[in-house]
Chains A and B, each alone.
Chain A
């Protein structure tokens, strides 16, 4: 019963939303140029599926590359900064401040600095999801409960043992909070970069559809973005369930 509910209710919500949207376009006779109905969007996709899938692939490549770089660099930086308490104290406020700077604002500058290739796009993605990963991982690495630190001291654990057996695993749930925020932001970063620099990707499709007044095409691209973003997010969630199944249980 609860399983039916947990799977069924979101589906019911989505179907209802679609139905309202569709009937609104039909009842009020809204033109597809203004607000396309669901079938118009499907039609737009079926007109040029290869093109749309290729551009989706390009967005995925930018997103995943940027996210990957941000995660590796972010984890390394967080581990380094939390190795010394003084360093962590000195850098955390700076990182939190940088985290709140809207990174999308530098998108045009990146094009000036790095040209029109994939580079400025990847760099924007890295910039946008790097700080949440660093800040969350640092928070996790510095939140080891006092009794667990005491336990590892009382067992005469080496620095390495204390880190690998206690501090790092304890940080994983919070690290994943950062990864989940990061992956959602990564897609946004990629699209903003592509809109700013429309040489490829779904962001470029949206820009081009605007110049040719092809609103259904823009909606098809947006739909693909939503699917992509959701899929990537749940990929991270799946990884989290695999690596830290206990986190859900202790957070209730």
Chain B
């Protein structure tokens, strides 16, 4: 479980300070999947960094699994907005990095790493280096790296932004299947309203400057959902249309 209480974060800028997030109140229940949408620069990445313990809030408190966040923890995985792969390691080697950092046996992790790479459609690419992979492939390697430790809390920052529409749907379906099989407490940042509605239990809309919670929408649509077919369901269409309106207004504010 993740709980944020009146969390604000400002950054020092040239003359004044930039308020990236302002008094955010948000709880994500154990095993819940929350999607966060909002315009560019409204503080989505900052929100994930705060939960991951990479940044400290200027004010307010954050707890993960009941304890206050003091810094990064091994059961919290962050998939960054950039793939951030090590250029000297193969896809497999990159996925195994968290295993090595946790000083766990590499051999045990390797089997799971291969399965994950196969699952995201990189079966023939285990031994390729990042420079031999497309942007979308690199992003999928980063996804596997975030998943390998089977984290209790999974934070994802636009994990599918570099993918084409069809691969994106495949990946979303994979992620949904993984989540149904073993629900991690998930915060998923995306720019795609459809994706948010497809994957999330609740969708949080942030408004920019300063980042505030504009609206929280519960998505009560039975799973498994699929982008292709569920998109036509009236309930989905309604959610998407509503979020679109909120997001459009949030931009003007």
A-B complex is real: yes
Residues of A within 8 A of B (CB): 145, 147-148, 150-157, 161, 165-166, 169, 244, 246, 249-250
Q: How far is the CA of A114 from the CA of B49 in the complex (A)?
A: 58
Interface of A is mostly: helix
Distance between B204 CB and nearest chain A CB, rounded to angstroms: 22
- Among A150, A156, A165, A250, contact of B87 (Cβ-Cβ < 8 Å): A250
Determine the distance from Cα of A32 to Cα of B80 in the docked complex, in whole angstroms. Answer: 69
For chain B residues 64-107, which have a beta carbon within 8 Å of chain A?
Answer: 71-74, 76-78, 80, 82, 84, 86-88, 97-98, 100-102
Q: Which residues of A contact B80 (CB under 8 A)?
A: 147, 150-151, 154
Listed residue (A152, A154, A156) with the most chain B CB atoms within 10 angstroms of its CB: A154
Say yes or no: A154 contacts B131, CB within 8 Å. no
Residues of B within 8 A of A157 (CB): 101
Residues of B with C-beta under 8 A to A147: 80, 82, 84
Q: Once the chains bind, are A246 and B131 in contact (CB under 8 Å)?
A: yes
A161 to B98, CA, bound (A): 11
Could you mark each residue 129-155 of chain B with 1 if its beta carbon is under 8 Å from any beta carbon of chain A, else 0? Answer: 101100000000000000000000000
Complex interface residues of chain B between 48 and 73 (CB less than 8 A to chain A):
49, 52, 54, 71-73
Excluding A147-B80, A156-B71, A165-B97, 11 further A-B contacts by CB distance (< 8 Å) are A152-B101, A153-B54, A153-B72, A154-B52, A154-B72, A155-B97, A155-B102, A156-B72, A156-B74, A169-B86, A246-B87
A150 touches B88 (CB 8 A): no
| Inter-subunit contact A148/B101 (CB<8 Å) | no
Residues of chain B contacted by A244 (CB below 8 angstroms): 88
Cβ contacts under 8 Å, B88 to chain A: 169, 244, 246
- Tally of contacts, chain A with chain B, CB under 8 A: 55
In the complex with contacts A148-B84, A151-B84, A153-B72, A249-B54 CB distance below 8 A: no
Using Cβ atoms and an 8 Å threshold, which residues of chain A touch B77?
154
Contact (A154, B54) CB under 8 Å given A147-B82, A244-B88, A250-B87: yes
User: Does B72 lie within 8 Å of A249, measured CB to CB?
Assistant: no
Chain B residue at minimal CB-CB distance from A244: B88
From 203 to 249 in chain B, residues with beta carbon under 8 angstroms from any chain A beta carbon are none
List 10 A-B pairs, Cβ < 8 Å.
A152-B101, A153-B54, A154-B72, A154-B76, A155-B74, A165-B86, A169-B86, A246-B87, A246-B88, A249-B132
Give Cα A154–Cα B76 distance, bound, in whole angstroms. 8
Query: In the complex, A156 Cα to B98 Cα: how many Å?
Result: 9
Provide the residues of chain A in CB contact with B71, threshold 8 Å.
156
Contact of B54 among A148, A150, A161 (CB under 8 A): A150
Most B C-beta atoms less than 10 A away, residue of A148, A151, A161, A165 = A151
Contact across chains for A165 and B101 when beta carbons are under 8 A apart? yes
Known A150-B54, A246-B88, A250-B87; contact A156-B101, beta-carbon cutoff 8 A: yes
Give the residues in chain B near A148, CB-CB below 8 Å: 84, 86
Residues of chain B within 8 A (CB-CB) of A165 are 86, 97, 100-101
Q: How far is the CA of A157 from the CA of B97 in the complex (A)?
A: 10
The CA of A23 and the CA of B39, in the complex, are separated in Å by 72
Query: Cβ of B84 and Cβ of A155 under 8 Å apart?
Result: no
